[in-house]
Amino acid sequence: MKARLNIILVSHTPEPESTVSAAARLCYSPANIKDVVCGKKNDKSQPFLKKLISMGHMSPLEHASFTFAIEGISRACSHQLVRHRLASYSQQSQRYVGTEDEFKYVIPTAIKDNEELRHIFEKAMESINNDYQKLVKELIKAGRRREEALEDARFILPNAAETKIIMTMNARELLHFFNQRLCMRAQWEIRNMAMEMLKIVKKVAPVIFANAGPMCLSGKCPEGQFACGKTEEVRKYFHTLTSGNVMEE
Protein backbone atom coordinates (compact mmCIF):
# COMPACT_ATOMS: atom_id res chain seq x y z
CA MET A 1 0.00 0.00 0.00
CA LYS A 2 1.56 3.29 -1.10
CA ALA A 3 2.08 6.01 1.51
CA ARG A 4 1.28 9.67 0.93
CA LEU A 5 3.16 12.57 2.52
CA ASN A 6 1.08 14.57 4.98
CA ILE A 7 2.42 17.29 7.28
CA ILE A 8 0.47 19.23 9.89
CA LEU A 9 1.76 22.10 12.00
CA VAL A 10 0.40 20.91 15.35
CA SER A 11 1.41 23.96 17.35
CA HIS A 12 3.92 26.78 17.53
CA THR A 13 4.98 29.54 19.87
CA PRO A 14 2.17 32.13 19.93
CA GLU A 15 3.13 35.18 17.88
CA PRO A 16 6.56 33.70 17.16
CA GLU A 17 8.03 36.78 15.51
CA SER A 18 6.87 39.13 18.26
CA THR A 19 8.33 36.76 20.85
CA VAL A 20 11.69 36.62 19.08
CA SER A 21 11.69 40.40 18.68
CA ALA A 22 10.96 40.89 22.39
CA ALA A 23 13.78 38.54 23.37
CA ALA A 24 16.20 40.39 21.12
CA ARG A 25 15.10 43.83 22.34
CA LEU A 26 15.87 42.78 25.88
CA CYS A 27 19.49 42.32 24.81
CA TYR A 28 19.77 45.91 23.58
CA SER A 29 17.25 47.81 25.72
CA PRO A 30 17.60 49.26 29.25
CA ALA A 31 13.83 48.80 29.69
CA ASN A 32 12.49 46.33 32.23
CA ILE A 33 10.99 43.00 31.26
CA LYS A 34 7.38 44.16 31.56
CA ASP A 35 7.96 47.03 29.14
CA VAL A 36 9.74 44.79 26.63
CA VAL A 37 7.10 42.07 26.74
CA CYS A 38 4.08 44.39 26.74
CA GLY A 39 5.56 46.33 23.85
CA LYS A 40 6.38 43.28 21.74
CA LYS A 41 3.48 43.91 19.35
CA ASN A 42 4.63 47.34 18.26
CA ASP A 43 4.85 48.24 14.57
CA LYS A 44 8.65 48.19 14.63
CA SER A 45 8.90 44.46 15.34
CA GLN A 46 9.26 43.33 11.74
CA PRO A 47 11.95 45.86 10.70
CA PHE A 48 13.83 45.11 13.90
CA LEU A 49 13.58 41.38 13.26
CA LYS A 50 14.85 41.76 9.70
CA LYS A 51 17.82 43.76 10.97
CA LEU A 52 18.47 41.17 13.68
CA ILE A 53 18.65 38.34 11.15
CA SER A 54 20.79 40.34 8.72
CA MET A 55 23.26 40.97 11.56
CA GLY A 56 23.47 37.25 12.22
CA HIS A 57 22.15 37.59 15.79
CA MET A 58 20.32 34.27 15.68
CA SER A 59 20.08 33.12 19.30
CA PRO A 60 16.76 34.94 19.97
CA LEU A 61 15.19 32.75 17.26
CA GLU A 62 15.54 29.82 19.62
CA HIS A 63 12.62 31.20 21.65
CA ALA A 64 10.16 30.29 18.88
CA SER A 65 9.41 26.61 18.36
CA PHE A 66 7.31 24.67 15.86
CA THR A 67 5.82 21.19 16.23
CA PHE A 68 5.01 19.13 13.14
CA ALA A 69 3.11 15.86 12.75
CA ILE A 70 4.50 14.01 9.73
CA GLU A 71 3.26 10.85 8.04
CA GLY A 72 3.86 9.19 4.70
CA ILE A 73 7.66 9.25 4.90
CA SER A 74 9.91 6.22 4.76
CA ARG A 75 12.18 4.91 7.47
CA ALA A 76 15.03 5.91 5.16
CA CYS A 77 13.81 9.49 5.42
CA SER A 78 13.24 9.46 9.18
CA HIS A 79 16.78 8.11 9.72
CA GLN A 80 18.06 11.26 8.03
CA LEU A 81 15.67 13.51 9.90
CA VAL A 82 16.69 12.42 13.40
CA ARG A 83 20.32 13.29 12.66
CA HIS A 84 19.24 16.88 13.34
CA ARG A 85 19.91 16.63 17.04
CA LEU A 86 18.63 20.01 18.26
CA ALA A 87 15.06 18.79 18.04
CA SER A 88 12.60 16.51 19.84
CA TYR A 89 11.10 13.44 18.19
CA SER A 90 8.32 10.95 18.95
CA GLN A 91 8.17 8.18 16.34
CA GLN A 92 5.63 5.44 15.78
CA SER A 93 7.10 2.19 17.06
CA GLN A 94 7.38 -0.87 14.84
CA ARG A 95 7.62 -2.87 18.05
CA TYR A 96 4.17 -1.93 19.33
CA VAL A 97 2.39 -0.92 16.13
CA GLY A 98 2.06 -3.69 13.60
CA THR A 99 -0.36 -4.22 10.73
CA GLU A 100 -2.83 -7.02 10.18
CA ASP A 101 -3.04 -6.40 6.44
CA GLU A 102 -0.14 -4.81 4.56
CA PHE A 103 2.31 -2.12 5.56
CA LYS A 104 2.44 1.17 3.69
CA TYR A 105 5.60 2.05 1.81
CA VAL A 106 7.19 4.86 -0.18
CA ILE A 107 8.21 4.36 -3.82
CA PRO A 108 11.02 6.54 -5.22
CA THR A 109 9.83 8.64 -8.15
CA ALA A 110 12.44 7.21 -10.53
CA ILE A 111 11.04 3.74 -9.84
CA LYS A 112 7.39 4.74 -9.76
CA ASP A 113 7.60 6.36 -13.20
CA ASN A 114 9.13 3.26 -14.80
CA GLU A 115 6.59 0.46 -15.26
CA GLU A 116 9.15 -2.35 -15.23
CA LEU A 117 11.00 -1.05 -12.17
CA ARG A 118 7.75 -0.33 -10.33
CA HIS A 119 6.64 -3.91 -10.90
CA ILE A 120 9.90 -5.24 -9.44
CA PHE A 121 9.61 -2.90 -6.45
CA GLU A 122 5.97 -3.65 -5.69
CA LYS A 123 6.55 -7.38 -6.06
CA ALA A 124 9.37 -7.15 -3.51
CA MET A 125 7.15 -5.20 -1.09
CA GLU A 126 4.39 -7.79 -1.47
CA SER A 127 6.83 -10.63 -0.77
CA ILE A 128 8.23 -8.92 2.32
CA ASN A 129 4.74 -8.17 3.59
CA ASN A 130 3.65 -11.81 3.21
CA ASP A 131 6.74 -13.02 5.06
CA TYR A 132 6.29 -10.37 7.76
CA GLN A 133 2.67 -11.37 8.39
CA LYS A 134 3.66 -15.04 8.50
CA LEU A 135 6.47 -14.37 10.97
CA VAL A 136 4.16 -12.44 13.29
CA LYS A 137 1.53 -15.18 13.27
CA GLU A 138 4.02 -18.02 13.76
CA LEU A 139 5.84 -16.23 16.58
CA ILE A 140 2.56 -15.60 18.40
CA LYS A 141 1.55 -19.22 17.82
CA ALA A 142 4.88 -20.25 19.35
CA GLY A 143 4.01 -18.40 22.54
CA ARG A 144 5.54 -14.96 22.01
CA ARG A 145 3.51 -11.95 23.11
CA ARG A 146 2.31 -9.72 20.27
CA GLU A 147 4.85 -6.96 20.92
CA GLU A 148 7.61 -9.56 21.11
CA ALA A 149 6.49 -11.03 17.78
CA LEU A 150 6.39 -7.58 16.21
CA GLU A 151 9.83 -6.61 17.51
CA ASP A 152 11.37 -9.73 15.94
CA ALA A 153 9.38 -9.73 12.69
CA ARG A 154 10.20 -6.06 12.02
CA PHE A 155 13.80 -7.02 11.21
CA ILE A 156 12.73 -7.86 7.66
CA LEU A 157 10.80 -4.63 7.06
CA PRO A 158 12.46 -2.43 4.39
CA ASN A 159 13.71 1.16 4.52
CA ALA A 160 10.73 1.94 2.28
CA ALA A 161 8.27 1.15 5.10
CA GLU A 162 6.20 4.17 6.07
CA THR A 163 6.61 5.81 9.45
CA LYS A 164 4.90 8.60 11.38
CA ILE A 165 6.73 11.09 13.55
CA ILE A 166 6.09 14.23 15.60
CA MET A 167 8.97 16.66 15.64
CA THR A 168 9.64 19.94 17.43
CA MET A 169 12.35 22.36 16.32
CA ASN A 170 13.10 25.95 17.23
CA ALA A 171 13.27 28.55 14.45
CA ARG A 172 17.05 28.73 14.42
CA GLU A 173 17.41 24.98 13.96
CA LEU A 174 14.67 24.99 11.32
CA LEU A 175 16.67 27.51 9.30
CA HIS A 176 19.70 25.22 9.55
CA PHE A 177 17.51 22.24 8.59
CA PHE A 178 16.30 24.12 5.49
CA ASN A 179 19.91 25.06 4.64
CA GLN A 180 20.86 21.41 4.57
CA ARG A 181 17.76 19.63 3.29
CA LEU A 182 16.54 22.03 0.60
CA CYS A 183 19.83 21.75 -1.22
CA MET A 184 19.54 19.99 -4.58
CA ARG A 185 22.17 17.56 -3.30
CA ALA A 186 19.87 16.44 -0.48
CA GLN A 187 17.98 13.17 -0.89
CA TRP A 188 14.72 13.75 -2.79
CA GLU A 189 12.31 12.55 -0.09
CA ILE A 190 13.58 14.66 2.77
CA ARG A 191 13.84 17.59 0.35
CA ASN A 192 10.15 17.20 -0.51
CA MET A 193 9.31 17.08 3.18
CA ALA A 194 11.43 20.13 3.97
CA MET A 195 9.77 22.10 1.18
CA GLU A 196 6.30 21.39 2.55
CA MET A 197 7.45 22.38 6.04
CA LEU A 198 8.89 25.64 4.71
CA LYS A 199 5.62 26.55 2.99
CA ILE A 200 3.78 25.98 6.27
CA VAL A 201 6.06 28.04 8.52
CA LYS A 202 6.27 30.91 6.04
CA LYS A 203 2.58 31.53 6.73
CA VAL A 204 3.04 31.95 10.49
CA ALA A 205 6.53 33.51 10.56
CA PRO A 206 7.12 35.19 7.16
CA VAL A 207 9.96 37.43 8.31
CA ILE A 208 11.94 34.71 10.07
CA PHE A 209 11.69 32.37 7.08
CA ALA A 210 11.73 34.97 4.31
CA ASN A 211 15.13 33.87 3.03
CA ALA A 212 15.03 30.24 4.19
CA GLY A 213 16.39 27.68 1.78
CA PRO A 214 19.65 26.10 0.64
CA MET A 215 22.92 27.84 1.48
CA CYS A 216 23.48 28.94 -2.12
CA LEU A 217 20.68 31.51 -1.76
CA SER A 218 22.93 33.86 0.17
CA GLY A 219 26.40 32.93 -1.01
CA LYS A 220 28.60 30.54 -2.90
CA CYS A 221 27.49 26.91 -3.08
CA PRO A 222 29.41 24.98 -0.39
CA GLU A 223 29.29 21.69 -2.32
CA GLY A 224 32.35 22.50 -4.44
CA GLN A 225 32.89 19.95 -7.21
CA PHE A 226 29.63 18.24 -6.20
CA ALA A 227 27.52 21.36 -6.83
CA CYS A 228 24.30 20.77 -8.77
CA GLY A 229 25.17 23.47 -11.33
CA LYS A 230 21.74 25.06 -10.95
CA THR A 231 22.52 27.87 -8.51
CA GLU A 232 20.79 30.63 -10.47
CA GLU A 233 17.76 28.45 -11.15
CA VAL A 234 17.54 27.53 -7.47
CA ARG A 235 17.78 31.16 -6.38
CA LYS A 236 15.07 32.20 -8.80
CA TYR A 237 12.80 29.42 -7.59
CA PHE A 238 13.08 30.30 -3.91
CA HIS A 239 12.78 34.03 -4.50
CA THR A 240 9.48 33.46 -6.30
CA LEU A 241 8.22 30.56 -4.24
CA THR A 242 4.65 30.02 -5.37
CA SER A 243 4.65 26.53 -6.88
CA GLY A 244 3.59 23.42 -5.00
CA ASN A 245 6.37 21.37 -6.59
CA VAL A 246 9.99 20.85 -5.71
CA MET A 247 12.58 21.44 -8.40
CA GLU A 248 13.63 18.28 -10.14
CA GLU A 249 17.22 17.14 -10.03
pTM of the model: 0.89
Which are the catalytic amino acids?
181
CATH number at residue 188: 3.30.1360.170
Q: Per residue in 61-96, pLDDT tens?
A: 999 999 999 999 999 999 999 999 999 999 999 988
Note the pLDDT tens digit of each residue in 155-185: 999 999 999 999 999 999 999 999 999 999 9
Looking at the fold, whether 131 and 13 belong to one and the same domain comes out as no
Domain endpoint, select from 158, 176, 195: 158
Domain extent, residue 132, equals: 110-158
CA dist list (Å): 8 to 70, 176, 183, 193, 199: 7, 20, 22, 11, 11
Say if residue 172 is in the same domain as residue 228.
yes
Number of domains in the chain: 2
Regarding whether 233 and 118 lie in a shared domain, the answer is: no
What tens-digit pLDDT sequence spans the chain (249 residues)? 788 999 999 999 999 998 998 888 887 776 677 766 765 555 567 788 888 888 888 999 999 999 999 999 999 999 999 999 999 999 999 988 877 678 999 999 999 999 999 999 999 999 999 999 999 999 999 999 999 999 999 999 999 999 999 999 999 999 999 999 999 999 999 999 999 999 999 999 999 999 999 999 988 888 888 888 888 889 988 887 744 455 555
Q: How many CB atoms lie within 10 A of CB 119?
A: 11
CB 119, CB 229: distance < 8 Å: no
